Amino acid sequence: MISESQQPRHDPINLGRSDQPWIDRLSAAWNDTICLFGRILIGGIFVQSGFQKLMGLDAFAASLVRNGIPAAIAPVLAPIGAGVEFVGGLAVVFGLMTRYAAVLMIVFVIVATLISHRFWELQGPDRRTQTVQFAKNVAIIGGFLFAFVTGGGRLSLDRWRRVA
């Protein structure tokens, strides 16, 4: 009779070494695709939002004023902020200068968070809402930190530029 430890291991995924847990083999096999999807998901939010702001710069500038930015500075900051958000998001999505784009987006999210989600100044339901928005942005910063550490990956323009 064959003991359990002597039986051949069933590898339904058949990914690499069967002495590794299936989750490690799966992660290794799909690493490039997962990095691509991660970049699309986190960068895509900023592409969409930045594009909307670029198409409505006056409304975006007005929202900056409502959040405490001086009216004389808001029309200057609005196109800069919207442009950084849009272009930085695109760079992350396409994996172009990914580490630089991730750092740029971290700075952008910090500034945007400090302008728009000052929960400590509010009370009641508004405070709870802005606390959640603040925490969401902190989590987004965590995602950009991963992009900074991993870079664009094999399915990126960064990789294509190195090979070409």
Coil vs helix vs strand at 18: coil
The 10s digit of each residue's pLDDT in 49-62 is 999 999 999 999 99
Torsion of CA 57, 116, 93, 79, to 10 degrees: 20
Q: What is the pLDDT of residue 161?
A: 84
Q: What is the pLDDT of residue 22?
A: 93
Coil vs helix vs strand at 13: coil
Q: What is the pLDDT of residue 150?
A: 95
This prediction has a pTM of: 0.85
118: Cβ contacts below 8 Å, ≥ 6 apart: 130
CA angle 75, 131, 121 (to 5 degrees): 65
159-to-37, 47, 94, 126, 149 alpha-carbon distances in Å = 16, 21, 11, 44, 15
Q: What is the pLDDT of residue 11?
A: 45
Q: What is the pLDDT of residue 8?
A: 45
The parts of the chain modelled with pLDDT lower than 70 are: 1-17, 164
Dist CA 14 CA 151 (whole Å): 28
> Cβ-count burial of 80 within 10 angstroms (0-12 exposed, 13-18 middle, 19+ buried)?
exposed
Domain residue limits, the chain? 23-163
151, amino acid identity: G
